[in-house]
Chain A
């Protein structure tokens, strides 16, 4: 029983970080119906930036969030303007899938050239610090990463519900035509939201590198997880992404401890497939309208 609870704790902590990464992905889909397959690669890019800041300038990884996030926001806006916006026509959704995949490959290639393929990890002095609470081990960095993710997700939620921009975003998600009629600049909303989605990934990436070793190829594993999370949660639903991410973290950790580590990732996919059988639109997803 102790093992299971410990695993649940581990799962929740890492689930929070995944939730942050997935939030950007599901947000972008909700607004533009674009799946940004490069989200994983952007997380890894942020991890490398944070690693470089730490290795050369001794910037603490959690502080580097303040630097990396705005930088990647700009990158996200640029990517949307250059690559995504130019896609037009009936195939634009599928094309965007492939364009963002090409972007992911490009990022992987550039990272391989600059950083080589050795695994890196950002190793601040507190990397191994653990607290023992009621007999359970709590890793300091994972706890910090979870708190950072929770704070950022809360800020995102506030942005979407309390600000004018947020209202414009939600209007565009619900009914793009009506939103435009009401004076919302759809293009601007889309571009800024894409940037926002990328900056969420960036923040998560900065802390990801402290928890896990990574190399340019790590984005494949990440994006498959993120995609399954947003599908389970329901494409476009922020709350769904958070719940699904926690489900993933906990399922994998518990299966790893109670059954076998090699079946941990697989078990999550089983959960996903079974759930889709019952509810194809995901936990909080809406039945897709044809219009």
Chain B
């Protein structure tokens, strides 16, 4: 890891840890929880869809599954309250990710556009299951998770740190993958899958591993959310708008980059809250949201980070070639 990268990571973690201690008002920590939730979802989405090039539109289905799994673990396994559910999260997430593999395998046999659509239908399938499997999910009445007895003043902090932990974990996983053989395989797949397959790259295996990691993180986020809200309903746990938000944030920040999704979340979540406060009552909230979405996709299709990087490279180039006599410039090119 470069020194700059290490500094960036350290600064982010330090700022993340300090935030609720400095800005301890519950409503601010609440916004922090939401921001980190979206950041984690964006990082997880980017891990699969950003690196492999396969746009998955079903991510929020696994967010919901993670939420329900945690709720069911509460009900049927008597996990206890307090901090225990947080410790159970990685296992719950792993279980959901494992269960998703067969479906992913079938979906990944199709090509990009079909894959996107099939993952989208997954969303509705999971929502239907949540409605229909009454004995497990309580259907439309919802699943209740007993609220923990954290003190009222710092109630939101454990959830905040849990989300922060998942974001850091996600970033760590992304960084490791990028630097590993898996990362190279994914990039090769994104470039030209047939060629990669021809060269002997284990295409299906690579995609499945990236998928598993992405779902593991997503399900954990769903679990924390379920514990935070204490009520899990089919409509709210599998909400397309949540996923579109995470996708938008990834695009805004820069798909396929490491920090892009986080930056996207840091920009968009407060902006979202702002829009709700000021545009909410008039139903224009949805239109405003769609407009932002459109602007980002049409004007900044590569996202903030890559565009910034390009800008910096261009500026450096200009600086480098400035002041040199033309003859030498020509020789340099």
Contacts and interface: CB of A to CB of B under 8 A. Distances in A.
A103 B125 contact: no
A100 to B, nearest CB: 10
B271 interface: no
B294 A103 contact: yes
Nearest to B105: A277
B90 interface: no
24 contacts: A35-B113, A91-B301, A95-B297, A95-B301, A101-B293, A105-B287, A105-B290, A106-B290, A109-B284, A109-B289, A110-B287, A112-B283, A113-B284, A224-B120, A224-B124, A227-B121, A230-B117, A231-B121, A269-B125, A272-B118, A272-B121, A277-B106, A281-B110, A290-B192
Given A86-B298, A109-B287, A113-B287, A97 B116 contact: yes
Contacts of A273: 103, 106, 118
A231 B55 contact: no
A265 B121 CA distance: 11
A89 B306 CA distance: 15
Nearest to A272: B121
A83 B293 CA distance: 12
Given A228-B121, A280-B110, A35 B116 contact: yes
B244 A235 contact: no
A44 B121 CA distance: 20
Interface string A232-264: 000100000000000000000000000000110
Contacts of A186: none
B129 A266 contact: yes
- Say what secondary structure dominates the interface of chain B: helix
Contact of B125 (A33, A101, A266): A266
A58 to B, nearest CB: 28
Given A29-B113, A103-B290, A228-B117, A109 B283 contact: yes
Contacts of A277: 106, 109
B47 interface: no
Contacts of B57: 97
Given A94-B112, A266-B129, A266-B132, A106 B291 contact: yes
Most interface-central of B55, B123, B129, B290 (chain A CB within 10 A): B290
A262 B244 contact: no
Given A98-B247, A262-B131, A269 B293 contact: no
A185 to B, nearest CB: 24
B310 interface: no
A19 B94 CA distance: 40
A231 B118 contact: yes
Most interface-central of A97, A265, A277, A282 (chain B CB within 10 A): A97
Interface residues of A, number: 46
Interface residues of B, number: 46
A280 B109 contact: yes
B333 to A, nearest CB: 26
Contact of B290 (A97, A102, A227): A102
Contacts of B116: 35, 94, 97
Given A97-B116, A112-B283, A228-B121, A105 B128 contact: no
Interface string B52-66: 000101000000000
A220 interface: yes
B241 to A, nearest CB: 8
Contact of A106 (B109, B240, B287, B298): B287
Contacts of A106: 286-287, 290-291, 294
A269 B113 contact: no
Interface string A97-127: 1110111011011101100000000000000
A93 B297 CA distance: 12
Contacts of A110: 287
A280 B290 contact: no
B151 interface: no
B80 to A, nearest CB: 34
B298 A93 contact: no
Interface in B237-296: 240, 244, 247-248, 251, 282-291, 293-294
B197 to A, nearest CB: 10
B111 interface: yes
B180 to A, nearest CB: 24
B286 A108 contact: yes
B109 A276 contact: yes
Interface pairs A-B: 10 shortest CB-CB: A109-B286, A109-B287, A106-B290, A102-B293, A105-B290, A280-B110, A266-B128, A113-B283, A112-B283, A288-B111
A87 interface: yes
Contacts of A89: 301
Interface string B289-330: 111011001100100000000000000000000000000000
Contacts of B285: 109
Interface in B104-144: 106-107, 109-114, 116-118, 120-121, 123-125, 128-129, 131-132
Contact of B132 (A33, A98, A262, A269): A262
